[in-house]
Chain A
Amino acid sequence: MPELDELESRLDALTEADFQQGLEVFRGKLKKAEASYLNSCVHCGLCASSCHYHRMDSTLENIPAHKLELISSVFKRNFTTMGRIAPGLVGAKPFDREMAKAWIDAVFGRCSLCGRCSINCTIGIALPKIFRAARAALGAMGLVPPDLQATVDNSLLHGNNMAVTKQDWVETVQWIEEELQLETGDPGAKLPLDKQGAKFLFTVNPREPKFFPLSLQASAKVFWAAKEDWTLASDGGWDLTNYGLFNCNDEQAGTITKHLVDAMARLGCKTLVIGECGHGYGAARWEGPEWLRKSYPFEVKSILELMDEYVRDGRIQLDPSKNTAPVTLHDPCNLVRHGGICEAQRRVLRKATTNFTEMTPNRVENFCCGGGGGQLAMARYKQRRIQSGGMKAEQIKASGAKVVVAPCHNCIDQLMELNKEYQLNVQIKTVAEMVAEALIPNP
């Protein structure tokens, strides 16, 4: 695997200055909350069962506290008095090649930053915050897995993470518009591009125009039914993804966020609407302002919240008898646990289906599908990703559902692989697809 060699070569070539740089960046990511977290772990090990990696492969390396300890051991050695005086006693260790390798394995290879361990930690340590600081440090040392970094580079170079050209994007939008007009029988059904002053700028995951155009069509159909004033951007600012959330390079993440902010300013829209994507929502809604170090002059909403409002306000009418198969809902970690959007999608699905069943556990306690944290972009960890997804596969099987709704395109990719690997025999859909199916046109 040439990419593996690239990372190994980089590890071999690390100089003392690289380690210092990594430590400086790591230190720079720590605020008083993180300093508190790094002083708190009691190694009780009860977090083990909260991690989907450990549930499917119960090795020491998969225990969240062990991953944390790798990082806190370096913190102790470099930033605490006891770590310098009595390293053996408190488990302080130097930041060397072996440790850097262990960090890569732990924070890139055995963690999807889902935060389930935070909720379950007996103390309350928000472990992903520390793992993100470690990813940032590794990034400063040139130790981000190259395929993950390539996804970020695509966004920086092309304005979207799949390097879709403007021509391809615009043509796809026009084609979907034609399909929507055929489906609705309304020649006025539009996918507006660059509509100045539209109320909403709608953003999508590049997977939609590339592989799942029906998903974009479904969202457009919902907007059409609600008679919404919305637009897509033809150039930079239509891609909601931001893998800067995963390589943890705040500068790069901020630059990608700026694509959205600039499109909002260019088009004069009031609200940025994030399509069904967990990390995209987290990046745009929560982290973007922090990366840019300023508040947005506009509002950010998930399309799930909009659909919930449409149903509540009677702007769309749904016929649940159009979706009678048993349906269950996957809770994307960045949308639910880290994003706070928990009930909107449930209210909508209850109106759009006749047989909605919750997975167990769900909501804040949901299990990551295994595709989060940039895992889908890191081929070297594919086997672990599929294995750790076994937890989600078990949940789906236990639900008895025939349709799994996932309001996140990254999760959908992972769920599709799990569907094959674990022979789940389910359909995987977005919330908008379910709503579009149940829409009663022009009631």
Chain B
Amino acid sequence: MEPLHLGVLLAGAWAILTLVFLHLNAKAYGKRTLYSKPAGDSVQGVVYAFTKGMAPWAKESVRMNLPSYAAGMVFHAGVFTAFGLLFAAIFGLELPPSLVFLARILTVGGVLGGFSLFGKRIFKPQLRGLSCPDDFVANLLSSLFVLLALTWTFSPALAGVWMSEAILLLVYAPLGKIRHCFFFFTTRYHLGAFFGRRGTFPPRA
């Protein structure tokens, strides 16, 4: 195995293990024992939180900010696609041209989404005020990763640069806000369970 491939795999292992450690650390805070009688079903609340509750029309914040929401969605789609390409590159998988074409579209969207959100963070004073260096680093590392994945589909010779950047991204992921790739799920679970138990999720009307 090539050293850079091994480096990516090791960085990936680091990311996963550190995220597991962070999860265990959060779990160590303990579970709240609840004594009030439930009015609804936590499980239904969780299901709602991960399905209809995530729909753009379920959130006013999304309905009012559709361009940002769309940028975020294509950015994330681009990141996931880039990881798919990375997997293929490391394990030498031959991708059919149609899949490469689709990957290019998704990564182009990801690059545009990522850098537009980066620009928004720089140029919108309130968003800039809300940000710390981690916000910029996380966005840049992710956007570059997608950009390099896109360029790799045209020029495999750039694999070295791309994989080096991927190592940086994977090493950094659990240290900063990219950890939301894991905590998004636990947070949404807790939100759904809370509002489900109270009979608020799923909305009845």
Contacts and interface: CB of A to CB of B under 8 A. Distances in A.
B133 to A, nearest CB: 5
Contact of B127 (A43, A122, A288, A343): A43
Given A39-B187, A60-B125, 17 more contacts: A31-B32, A36-B186, A45-B127, A48-B126, A82-B175, A90-B134, A124-B53, A124-B188, A126-B191, A286-B36, A295-B35, A295-B37, A337-B200, A338-B198, A342-B203, A363-B205, A364-B200
A4 interface: no
Interface residues of B, number: 60
Contacts of B132: 43, 88-91
Interface stretch (A113-121, A321-329, A374-382): A113-121
27 contacts: A31-B30, A31-B31, A32-B30, A36-B190, A37-B187, A39-B22, A40-B180, A40-B184, A40-B186, A46-B68, A46-B69, A48-B61, A50-B60, A60-B129, A66-B129, A86-B175, A90-B175, A120-B62, A122-B72, A124-B190, A126-B190, A286-B36, A294-B35, A336-B200, A338-B200, A339-B198, A342-B205
Contact of A32 (B26, B192, B194, B200): B26
A254 to B, nearest CB: 11
A128 B188 CA distance: 15
Interface size on A, as a range, is: 35 or more
B61 A47 contact: yes
A49 interface: yes
Contact of A46 (B34, B62, B194): B62
A340 B196 CA distance: 9
Contacts of A58: 126
B130 A35 contact: no
Contacts of A295: 35-37
Interface of A: 30-37, 39-50, 58, 60, 63, 65-66, 69, 82, 86, 88-91, 118-126, 285-290, 292-296, 299-300, 336-343, 346, 361, 363-365
A45 B135 CA distance: 12
Given A36-B183, A89-B133, A44 B68 contact: yes
A125 B203 CA distance: 18
A31 B27 CA distance: 8
Nearest to A282: B198
Interface in B18-68: 22, 25-37, 39-40, 49, 53, 59-62, 64-65, 68
B131 interface: yes
A33 B59 contact: no
Nearest to B64: A49
A37 B189 CA distance: 11
Contact of A40 (B37, B137, B183): B183
